[in-house]
Amino acid sequence: EVDFSFELCFLVFSVSSLPRFLMKTKVQQYLEGHGVVRMWSTCPSVNLLDLLPQAVNSDPNSTPLPKEPVEILCVAPGDIGSVLMTMCRLRRQNLDSEVQVYIMEKNPEILARHLFLLYVFLDDDLGPRECTEIFLEIFGNAALRKQTSAYVTSKIDVLIRFVTDGETKLAGLVDLSLLKAKDRDALEKVWKGWAEGVPFDMPALREQRLRAYYEDRYDYRKNLMDWDHSMEVAVWASVIHARLYKQWRGDGTAFEIRESRYPEPNRTLASYA
């Protein structure tokens, strides 16, 4: 049996060392178009254990994986895709030791999403299909179905109790001892902002972000989407249809659940929109 746990803490980055001309152009454009809070990773999810030197080396005579606890540090991963993949593939590893993953993030909004998506992933009350649909919807869509939005609201108090009292199923998996009291308060504040009663105009905020990203190319954004799909996406991900790609670029719907309607904003992206 392999134990798996990870700890959460904060890490602050600075861009003050960048050249002044970059600070006024590329960085400013990036911040206005993409935002300062990264809700997704910039690389595909990987099995973190495959990155160990012993795992990378295919020589059968190489040193086996260590018996002592395996400690892995993820600095600002953006999402927990790699953590979940590592958890799911532990059975395939020839490993008899505990695995500890340390996650360092700057923003409490990202940590709040990490914990919530992990809770969804482990929610036994959801069937496999329902769990997958809710997870993907919250992970990648700018808007949610009514039932998904209600699910998010219903779990706010559960997550707050986990941070304040150490309850819920996450208690045996996640260690928050490295968080300061103000960090816990920040997480609680983020979760309370996800309630359905909190005003949040996702369409208007998303349009504002798109205008900042495209700048004077905003009126020609559909042509840019066609170009990006044909010259970039279709080359390495031909499975992604052009229509679905442009829909995602336009309204932020990455995962369609049959022919559902999405009237509610995805408040877990509140700092991104």
**Are residues 231 and 168 located together in one domain of the fold?**
no
**Are residues 168 and 48 located together in one domain of the fold?**
yes
**Are residues 236 and 141 located together in one domain of the fold?**
no
Do residues 264 and 141 make contact, with C-beta atoms less than 8 angstroms apart? no
- Domain assignment present for 125: yes
Q: So what's the pLDDT on residue 130?
A: 96
Q: So what's the pLDDT on residue 139?
A: 96
- Domain assignment present for 261: no
Q: Record the pTM.
A: 0.84
- Domain assignment present for 113: yes
**Are residues 120 and 104 located together in one domain of the fold?**
yes
Q: So what's the pLDDT on residue 144?
A: 95
**Are residues 205 and 228 located together in one domain of the fold?**
no
**Are residues 206 and 230 located together in one domain of the fold?**
no
- Domain assignment present for 143: yes
**Are residues 179 and 137 located together in one domain of the fold?**
yes
**Are residues 134 and 172 located together in one domain of the fold?**
yes
**Residue 208: other Cβ atoms inside 10 A:** 13
Helix (H) or strand (E) holding 50: none
Determine if residue 33 is left, alpha or beta; phi over 0 gives left, psi from -120 to 50 gives alpha, anything else beta.
alpha
- Domain assignment present for 264: no
Backbone angles phi, psi at 58, to 5 degrees: -85, 0
pLDDT by residue (tens digit) across 195-221? 988 889 999 988 988 888 888 889 999
Q: So what's the pLDDT on residue 111?
A: 95
**Are residues 110 and 233 located together in one domain of the fold?**
no
- Domain assignment present for 26: yes
**Are residues 87 and 208 located together in one domain of the fold?**
yes
Q: For residues 255, 259, 265 and 271, what is the CA-based torsion angle, rounded to 10 degrees?
A: 10
Helix, coil or strand: residue 265: strand
* Crossing angle (nearest 10°) for helices 108-122 and 128-140: 170
Q: What is the token pair recorded at 174?
A: 């996640």
- Domain assignment present for 266: no
- Domain assignment present for 263: no
Instruction: Provide the domain limits for residue 247.
Output: 221-256
pLDDT tens over the chain, length 273 residues? 445 555 555 444 343 444 544 444 666 666 666 777 888 998 889 999 888 876 555 555 555 666 778 899 999 999 999 999 999 888 777 677 788 999 999 999 999 999 999 999 999 999 999 999 999 999 999 999 999 999 999 999 999 999 988 877 888 899 999 999 999 999 999 999 999 888 899 999 889 888 888 888 899 999 999 999 999 999 989 999 999 999 999 999 999 988 889 999 999 998 854
* Crossing angle (nearest 10°) for helices 181-192 and 108-122: 70
Longest dimension (CA), the chain: 60
Q: So what's the pLDDT on residue 249?
A: 92
Name the domain count of the chain.
2
At position 232, the amino acid (one-letter code) is E
**Are residues 169 and 72 located together in one domain of the fold?**
yes
Which among 163, 181, 214 is the end of a domain?
A: 214
Between CA 149 and CA 153 the distance in angstroms is: 6
The DSSP 8-state label assigned to residue 217 in this structure reads G
Between CA 232 and CA 221 the distance in angstroms is: 16
Helix, coil or strand: residue 74: strand
**Are residues 141 and 26 located together in one domain of the fold?**
yes
